[in-house]
Amino acid sequence: MGIAQRYERTLKEVHETCEAAGRDARSVRLIAVSKTVGEAGVRAALEAGARDFGENRPDQIVPKSAAFPQATWHFIGNIQSRRIPEIVASATLIHSLFQLRHAEKIDAAAARLNKVQDVLIEVNVSGEESKSGCKPKEAYALVAACAALEHVRVRGLMTMAPQGDAQVARACFERLAQLEADIRAQLAPEDAAAFNELSMGMSEDWREAVYAGATMIRVGRAIFSDDFE
């Protein structure tokens, strides 16, 4: 099986899972996380119909988004202050924001490019030390502070679940969905209207995420790796 077949198989499974979960298939976006492949890999997925791609390093998102401007590029990795201008120039959506000082730098970089940068707030729901993200109880304050920035628009929340146990992952995703609903209820109507994305679920656990309400799943190995078959 190649990349195109694995992409098509994954997309079909996403549609089947949506149906089983009683959800509209169009309500979940499949983001192909292309961080382990080069431009040929991206092209193979594009030709199979992929439109959304995720990258976790500026060194990757900058050239790939330039080579494939017809795709939508998502930045899902660690944010370093000095790389923010490049990330903002390349990414349609930044999934991994959890520090206000970075939000302020994103705001400034977006202002210079005359754009409004869409972002998600990454939340460390599980509390694992290896995971990045703000604490669940800090998320509302961060969303509210970002909402005050003119060139930043907060579109929702993102998390990564602990690996290895589907039930633990599902509980983690359900907590993120509940947190998003709680935050939305506290936002001003104009901010609440745009605050509707939940980025959660990867190759091992995207099904649990779809059941819990994910609107974006970030899938790498199941599409790009041949040891995931």
Ligand X SMILES: *Cc1c(COP(=O)(O)O)cnc(C)c1O
Given the complex with ligand X, which of 78 and 196 has the nearer CB atom? 78
The least CB distance from residue 185 to ligand X, in Å, is 27
Helix (H) or strand (E) holding 35: none
Residues 6+ apart with CB under 8 A from 46: 68, 70, 71
Number of residue whose CB is nearest ligand X: 220
DSSP classification of residue 217 = E
Given the complex with ligand X, which of 33 and 109 has the nearer CB atom? 33
Q: Beta strand pairing status for 117-122 and 52-55? A: unpaired
Q: Give the binding site for ligand X (CB under 6 A).
A: 33, 35, 56, 76, 160, 202-203, 218-222
Given the complex with ligand X, which of 33 and 212 has the nearer CB atom? 33
Which parts of the chain fold into alpha helices (H)?
3-20, 39-47, 58-67, 84-90, 100-112, 136-147, 166-186, 189-194, 206-212, 221-224
Given the complex with ligand X, which of 37 and 149 has the nearer CB atom? 37
Given the complex with ligand X, which of 30 and 109 has the nearer CB atom? 30
The least CB distance from residue 143 to ligand X, in Å, is 19
The least CB distance from residue 132 to ligand X, in Å, is 9
The least CB distance from residue 138 to ligand X, in Å, is 19
Residues 6+ apart with CB under 8 A from 107: 117, 149, 150, 151, 152
The least CB distance from residue 184 to ligand X, in Å, is 23
Rounded to an integer, what distance in angstroms lies between the CA atom of residue 11 and that of residue 167?
23
Residues 6+ apart with CB under 8 A from 72: 51, 52, 53, 92, 93
The least CB distance from residue 126 to ligand X, in Å, is 14
Given the complex with ligand X, which of 99 and 147 has the nearer CB atom? 99
